[in-house]
Amino acid sequence: MQVVSIGNSKVLECAKCLGLWLDTQSFEKLCADKEQQSAVLGNVSLADRSIQQTKVNYVPCPECSQLMNRANFARCSGVIIDLCKQHGIWFDRNELSRIVEFIRSGGLEKSRAKEKNALEEERRKLQQEQLALDMQHSGIMDLGERDRVSGIASASGLLKFLLG
């Protein structure tokens, strides 16, 4: 692997496959810095943008040699990256530019909003279940009434959401 510059960051590039290795800090900086993102996109020609289907291989981390985990970046980008939680991220050819395009199209904000909504929905369900259990244990209602109370709590939560 050879050291190459992307903007003002130094990354490792495999001369054979053109994959890139970025440490976690460099990748986070790239995600937040539009100039760095422009440098990534500036290094990719239009001919290089095609997605090549290849066999799935788990690759070892260049630093610790442990097999890295594969993950869909931001859980919805469609770009599968190889990740070593301790050291960094391996990007196959063109994956980094695809991630930059995802970020620039508002993908990170959409992903964060989706996760926030899912967490709020889960919290609401847990609160409803706790309310029903508390009422059941205090003898206020029997098991048949629990479903009715849960439905009322759902309707109440929906109205609060809609009315602001």
14 shares its domain with 89: yes
Residues 51, 54: Cα–Cα separation, whole Å? 9
Same-domain pairing of 14 and 88 = yes
Q: Are residues 41 and 65 in the same domain?
A: yes
Is the domain of 101 the same as that of 122? no
Q: In terms of domains, do 33 and 96 share one?
A: yes
Q: What is the pLDDT of residues 21-76, one digit of tens each?
A: 988 888 888 777 777 677 776 665 433 444 555 677 888 999 999 999 999 988 88
User: What confidence tens digit (pLDDT) does each residue in 118-162 have?
Assistant: 888 888 888 888 888 877 777 665 555 555 555 555 656 555 656
pTM summary value: 0.60
- DSSP secondary structure of 96-109: HHHHHHHHHTTHHH
Please tell me the total count of domains within the chain.
2
Burial class (CB in 10 A: 0-12, 13-18, 19+), 11: buried
**Is residue 124 located within the same domain as residue 154?**
yes
Domain-terminating residue out of 60, 83, 105: 105
Pair 49, 68 in one domain: yes
Domain of residue 150 covers: 109-163
Are 70 and 84 in the same domain?
yes
Q: Which of 62, 85, 105 is the last residue of a domain?
A: 105
CA separation for the pair 3, 138 (Å, rounded) = 67
Among 56, 71, 105, the domain boundary falls at 105
Cβ–Cβ < 8 Å for 84, 64:
yes
Q: Residues 16-36: pLDDT tens digits?
A: 888 889 888 888 887 777 776
- Say yes or no: 19 and 67 in one domain: yes
Tell me, yes or no, whether 91 and 113 share the same domain.
Answer: no
Residues 76, 12: one domain? yes
Q: Are residues 34 and 93 in the same domain?
A: yes
